[in-house]
Structure 1
């Protein structure tokens, strides 16, 4: 399998420059799965607009240096660069310095994640391992495993075993 996956870059979706960037010290040991808890979009333009909005909320309202997630995935499986590989995120309080945060765009308390989104994230994780950004023996968690939250929603949380098949 090709270790490179197609990811829409920050430049392509119109990200603002981060206030600052901290590098992870070594390969990420954990992957934390989130959902945006917003309506899901499949069109590229709608997804880009939502990403700009999420980044604005994370920076202006939450005081983050950038969008909190390392990567996001749309309902059609399109992957978007958040903070990217090797950068400390702001996705799971107290657990960002050894992990990668990936958000599925949508609300998965009721909606089921698409096969395309699951497949794209699996390829992204495989790519991360092959490029050395993610440890081969990484642990995959839902946000709720590390904090008192419903995130990533019941239906996405139930789908996590499909993502653990990467190894």
Structure 2
């Protein structure tokens, strides 16, 4: 989505205020506005990113392997070391609820083999095979996923918000985050 389309959609679906610390994403729930600040990162990618032609699914991931609170910049370094263009996820959600941008939301990601062409990748920081996601991370995730669903006209459900393991042979997003997906979808639906 280009800037003009973003602003047009924003005008009709709510107000998005651009701040020095990122964007504030509004979502409506029972007539109340929920806001989420997204920290902008301006990563340099090793090759030009391709614009995604359609968006049909949001895929939920976890970092896995470490329960440390790693930054989007650290994940970008890891993905560059894998010889990828750069960070494969579109958003990173920290345990305290802070959200960072990875790839631009309209770019094809690199987060789910054979399923990057029509998806947005959202990664929760932590290893949710062992740890339990925080309430702050879940709350931010619900608002962010509602924003993504509204932006692309998706109805929150089991076909539009999935865990990485639903599409690939992996433990991701970890059993403890995966078990929260039904509640997350319900929370997203309240905002849409």
Task: Establish whether TM, by shorter chain, passes 0.5.
Answer: yes
Describe the shift of the 1:136–1:3 C-alpha distance in structure 2 as closer, same or farther (beyond 3 A). Answer: farther
1:12-161 to 2 correspondences below 5 Å: 15-17=43-45, 19-26=47-54, 28-37=55-64, 38-41=66-69, 47=70, 50-61=71-82, 63-130=83-150, 132-133=151-152, 135-136=154-155, 139-161=160-182
8 Å contact 1:125–1:134 — kept in the other structure?
no
Structure 2: segments with no counterpart, 5+ residues: 1-27
The one-character-per-residue Cα deviations of 1:134-155 (angstroms, maximum 9, x if unpaired) are 5235611111111111111110
For residues 68 and 145 of structure 1, the distance between their equivalents in structure 2, rounded to whole angstroms, comes to: 18
For residues 72 and 89 of structure 2, the distance between their equivalents in structure 1, rounded to whole angstroms, comes to: 11
Describe the shift of the 1:53–1:23 C-alpha distance in structure 2 as closer, same or farther (beyond 3 A). Answer: same
For residues 93 and 153 of structure 2, the distance between their equivalents in structure 1, rounded to whole angstroms, comes to: 18
The one-character-per-residue Cα deviations of 1:95-141 (angstroms, maximum 9, x if unpaired) are 011111110001001111111111111111222233x2352356111
8 Å contact 1:85–1:133 — kept in the other structure?
no
In the alignment, structure 1 residue 8 sits paired with structure 2 residue 39: yes
TM-score normalised over the length of structure 1: 0.84
TM-score normalised over the length of structure 2: 0.73
How many residue pairs get aligned? The number is 154
The one-character-per-residue Cα deviations of 1:17-69 (angstroms, maximum 9, x if unpaired) are 4521111113x21011110012232xxxxx4xx322211121122x2112010
For residues 179 and 112 of structure 2, the distance between their equivalents in structure 1, rounded to whole angstroms, comes to: 19
CA RMSD of aligned residues (A): 1.8
Tell me: higher relative CO, structure 1 or 2? Use CA pairs within 8 A at least 6 residues apart. 1
The one-character-per-residue Cα deviations of 1:59-92 (angstroms, maximum 9, x if unpaired) are 122x211201010100000001011321110000
